[in-house]
Structure 1
Amino acid sequence: MIEAVKLWNEPNNKSHWDPLLDPEWERFADMTRLAGAAVRAENPTITRVLGGMSPIDPSFVQRLEAKGVMEAIDVVAVHGFPLDWNLWPIDEWPARIQEIKAVTNKPVWVTEVGVSAFGSEEVQAWGVKRTAELLIGQAPRIHWYSLYDLPRSWEATTRHREAEGSSYYRHFHMGLLREDGSPKPAVEAFRPYAEEMGICQWFHFQDHRLDEAVHWLKDLGVRRLRTGLSWADRYREGALDWFDRQMEALADFDVTVTFCFTPEHRGLEAHHTSPPQVPEEFADFCAEMTARYAPARAPFPELVLAEAGAT
């Protein structure tokens, strides 16, 4: 089932939101307020998560709070990769969580945390264990990124690609499984923590790994999964068929589903990081997906009768 919807992904990271087009995050704030209200109108009980910060930045939370965003969300999410991209050591994880807790009364989730096997698969396995030790008990949701390595024939979702040097290529080694589906040492390192530390796995449009991924997730004992439904993909032929297949395959997990990525023809510029021309259109997409995959539950029959004055 879907337990939460996440509004965008890493909005304070230029790989996912263009700061040149929205330097003060005014457009992001408008879009998020509208989307949060649209989701709430479709399902008053579902948890609304603010797209995971990367870098973890208390001032960003304060900026959005001043713009009224916090009234439209229920949870603040953070992302961290201290052995690969962040300029702080892994042992600082608890302190980083506390930095955000100090500026908001919202729960703080870690919806992406990972260690690449770019330099060493053994280091990645150690990173799984150390991350679990540091974060379990600190955050009510933790999602390890990711189950699979990104296939080399694909592109990482980043704006600068090869210009980033080794930082770019680390994107392709974040999985517990190699591109061909074979397990790394990190698989067995993760297994003891699978119930408390879920997985974040993005699935591309008509992703060939979906069924095998479900098998692996169940084998590992994963209960909580974070994935995404792309607003850009909504304009592809057969989009709803693919979304239906994906969400049906993941029905046995407690899913946090992320709504993000601007369609090229709907952005201020033709790029997935662009603010939309019309922020209400993103809100409409969030409402459509919530109504389709996480509709409000009908009240229990006895409550209906009670409200009607029946005996």
Structure 2
Amino acid sequence: MIEAAKIWNEPNNKSHWDILIDPDWQKFAVTAIAAAKAIRAVHPTLPRVLGGISPIDPRFIENMKSRGVLDHVEAVAVHGFPLDWNLWKIDEWPDKLAEIQAVVSVPVWVTEVGVSSFGADEVQAWGVRRTAELLVGRAQRIHWYSLYDLPATWEATTRHKEAEGSAYYRHFHMGLLREDGTPKPALDAFAQHAPMMGLCQWFHFEDHRLDDAVRWMRRLGVRHLRTGLSWADSFRPNALDWFDRQMDALSEFDVTLTFCFTPEHRGIAPHHTSPPLEPEEFAEFCARMIERYCDRAGRAPSRSTDLQGAPLCAP
């Protein structure tokens, strides 16, 4: 089932939101509020989650608070990768959480935390154990990133690619499983902490790993999963068939469903990190997906229209 709707992914990260177009995040605030209101209009109780932010920056949260965004969410989320990308030590995790908790009145979730095996498998396994020691009991939700390594023939979702140097290639080694599906030592370390630590696994359009991922999550005892539906993907041929297949496959897990990524033809600039031309269009996408996939009060969701069409839930 869907347990929460997450509005965007790393909006304060230039690889996921174009801060050259929107340097003070005013456009993002408008977009987030529109999405939150649209979600609430179709579901009266579903928690709405902001972020998660990367870097962990209380000034960004203060900005969102001043613009009224925090009035429309039930949690805020943070992402942290201190052994790979962040300029702080892994032992600082409690302090990083406290920085955000000090400026919000809602729970702070950790919807991405991970350690790559880029340098050594043993480093990743130790990172799982230490992360659990530092975060379990301090955050209501913890999602380890990720189950699978990114296939070498794919691209990481970043606008800067090889210009990032070795930082770019760490994206490909974040999984508990290698690209070929074989386990790394970190898998056993993670299994000791599931279900207290959930997973974050992005599924690409028509991702060949979906069914195997479900089998692994069952085997590990995972309860909480964070994944996403891409607004940009919704314009692909047969998008709704893929969305249905993905959400049906994941229905046994408690899913935090992230909405993000701007279609090239609907952004101020022609790329997935752009603020939308019309924030209401993004909001309408969020609402349609919640109506389609969220079971409300025991009633099965309806699937009676297309991505761009009329209301999806029967009266």
Q: Same fold (TM over 0.5)?
A: yes
What's the TM-score bracket when you normalise by the shorter of the two chains? over 0.9
Q: TM-score, normalised by structure 2?
A: 0.94
Aligned residue identity for 2:25: W
Structure 2 equivalent of residue 18 of structure 1: 18
SS at match of 2:23: coil
In the alignment, residue 251 of structure 1 is paired with which amino acid?
S
Cα deviation code 1:130-185 (max 9, x no counterpart): 00000000101000000000000000000100000000000000000000000000
Bigger Cα Rg: 1
Which residue identity lines up with residue 35 of structure 1 in the other structure? A
1:143 matches 2:136? no
Counterparts of 1:195 and 1:101 in 2: how far apart (Å)? 24
**Pairing of 1:1-40 with structure 2 (within 5 A):** 1-40=1-40
Number of equivalenced pairs: 299
Q: Counterpart in 2 of 1:240?
A: 240
- In 1, the alpha carbon distance for the partners of 2:20 and 2:171 equals 24
Is it true that 1:159 corresponds to 2:179 in the alignment?
A: no
Match runs of 1:1-311 below 5 Å: 1-297=1-297
RMSD after superposition = 0.8
Q: Which amino acid aligns with 2:69?
A: V
1:31 is displaced (CA, Å) by 0.5
Give me the whole-angstrom Cα distance separating, in 1, the residues matched to 2:159 and 2:236.
22
1:60 counterpart letter in structure 2: F
Is the contact made by 1:52 and 1:78 (CA closer than 8 Å) also made in structure 2? Answer: yes
Unaligned runs of 5+ in 2: 300-315
Query: Which residue is equivalent to 1:308?
Result: none
- Residue 306 of structure 2 aligns with which residue? none
Give the secondary-structure state (helix, strand or coil) at the position aligned to 1:257: strand
Give 1:296 shift.
2.9
TM-superposition CA deviations, 1:199-218 (whole Å, max 9, x none): 00000000000000000000
TM-score for both structures, normalised by structure 1: 0.95
Amino acid aligned to 1:36: A
Matched letter for residue 21 of structure 1: I
Q: What one-letter code is carried by the residue in structure 1 that aligns with 2:177?
A: L
**Partner of 1:3: helix, strand, or coil?**
strand
Partner of residue 306, structure 1: none
Q: Distance in 2 between matches of 1:51 and 1:232?
A: 18
The CA deviation at 1:294 is 1.0
CA distance in 1, matches of 2:293, 2:178: 30
Structure 1, gaps ≥5 residues long: 300-311
Q: Provide the secondary structure at the position in 1 that maps to 2:256.
A: strand
Instruction: Return the offset for 1:295.
Output: 4.5
Deviation of 1:90 (Å): 0.2
